[in-house]
Amino acid sequence: MIDRAAPAKIRAKGVAKTFSSEGRDVVALQPVDLAVAEGEFVCILGPSGCGKSTLLRIVAGLIAPSAGSATLDGRPITGPGPERGLVFQEYALFPWLTVMQNVMYGPLVRGLGRREAERRAKTQIARVGLEGFEQHFPRQLSGGMKQRVGIARVWANQPDVMLMDEPFGALDAITRNILQRDLLKLWLEERHTVLFVTHSVDEAIFLADRVVVMSARPGRITAIVPVEAPRPRDLLAPESITLKAELTRLVEDQVMGARGEPSRLREYVN
Ligand SMILES: Nc1ncnc2c1ncn2[C@@H]1O[C@H](COP(=O)(O)OP(=O)(O)O)[C@@H](O)[C@H]1O
Ligand SMILES: [Mg+2]
């Protein structure tokens, strides 16, 4: 069980972001407050362009907020760090390195000896089900396999926190379901803290302890919905279907609201 009284692993307090480009200000994120407990799996769900990636990139330390602060273990986030592993939709593998070399890269850069780096890489490659593909190059792999390498590569660095930005968004539905199941299995083994961005309601229900719903641009948090069903979850079970309807309404309501249509779910909007 997650101890909600424990200090937050990740905390965002009044985090907002305005981008200035070509003399024009784009408000990407309105002030957001969020606390993620250690070992918690939180999904950020919202329509495209609502600032999900912006929020994740702030937590990753890739961009600085315009206002507010983000902390990790109570310390301000000022840049990227090895305790936060990032997985993006684009696989971000080095095309000129083999699977093995891609996964070993992080540990080697962090000063581990070759033998230890190799051992770690082997373990992680096996965990994501790619034993036998160590000497393949990324171009020889399917999208799903590349994303598995991406996950193994992050895990080889033994991060505390996984930041995942629509990691399965580019995959076909079947591959996506398999990867979701596998990710969940691996998460149940190690219980990293995970912040996972998605625009898929099903994905959020399948994976998350809590679903953070964001409004259409400029984004803000409009609801935080716990998912209490035990894992692995059956998306066709009555409670999943009820939750799916609720979350879909919340997200669609945001999109409709952005078009100037009246909100049907005012009670959720804070
Ligand atoms: N570097 C940037 N410069 C200008 N505008 C940006 C930049 N990054 C994101 N934005 C804008 O901020 C908004 C939120 O973007 P993003 O966080 O990528 O949304 P999401 O991930 O939810 O699709 C979008 O309107 C986007 O165009
Ligand atoms: Mg995005």
> What are 113-159's pLDDT values in tens digits?
999 999 999 999 998 899 999 999 999 999 999 999 999 999 899 89
- Residue 32 is encoded by which pair of tokens? 């957001």
Q: 19, 88, 195: which to mutate for ligand 1, most atoms within 8 A of CB?
A: 19
Q: 54, 57, 62, 195: which to mutate for ligand 1, most atoms within 8 A of CB?
A: 54
Q: State mean pLDDT over 211-232.
A: 93
- Residue 247 is encoded by which pair of tokens? 């979350």
Residue 7 CA to chain centroid, in angstroms?
21
Count CB neighbours of 223 within 10 A: 21
- 55 within 8 A of 5, measured Cβ to Cβ: no
Strands 75-76 and 84-88: unpaired
Residue 198 CA to chain centroid, in angstroms?
7
Q: Which of 52-61, 184-193, 211-220, 253-262 has the lowest mean pLDDT?
A: 253-262
What residue ranges define each of the domains in the chain, with the CATH number in brackets? 1-83+162-172+193-265 (3.40.50.300)
Amino acid, res. 67: A
How far is residue 104's CA from residue 93's CA, in Å, rounded to a whole number?
Answer: 12
**Quick check: CB of 54 below 6 Å from ligand 1?**
yes
Cα(49) to centroid(ligand 1), Å: 6
Strands 67-72 and 161-165: unpaired
Cα(55) to centroid(ligand 2), Å: 9
Instruction: Tell me the pLDDT band of 259, cut-offs 50, 70 and 90.
Output: low
Residue of minimum CA distance from atom 16 in ligand 1:
51
Ligand nearest to the CA of residue 66, numbered in listed order: 1
**Quick check: CB of 48 below 6 Å from ligand 1?**
yes
Cα(166) to centroid(ligand 1), Å: 14
Atom number of ligand 1 nearest to Cα 55: 17
Cα(199) to centroid(ligand 2), Å: 9
Q: Does pLDDT of 270 surpass 60?
A: no
Instruction: Tell me the pLDDT band of 90, cut-offs 50, 70 and 90.
Output: confident
Atom number of ligand 1 nearest to Cα 29: 14
* Burial 184-202, CB ≥16 within 10 A → b, else e: bebbeeeebbbbbbbbbbb
Confidence (pLDDT) at 218: 84
**Burial class of 142 by CB neighbour count within 10 A (0 to 12, 13 to 18, 19+):** exposed
Residue of minimum CA distance from atom 23 in ligand 1:
49
- 230 within 8 A of 39, measured Cβ to Cβ: no
- Residue 238 is encoded by which pair of tokens? 């009555």
Residue of minimum CA distance from atom 13 in ligand 1:
28
**Quick check: CB of 51 below 6 Å from ligand 1?**
yes
Q: How far is CA 106 from CA 103, 176, 196, 201, 219, in A?
A: 7, 25, 21, 33, 33
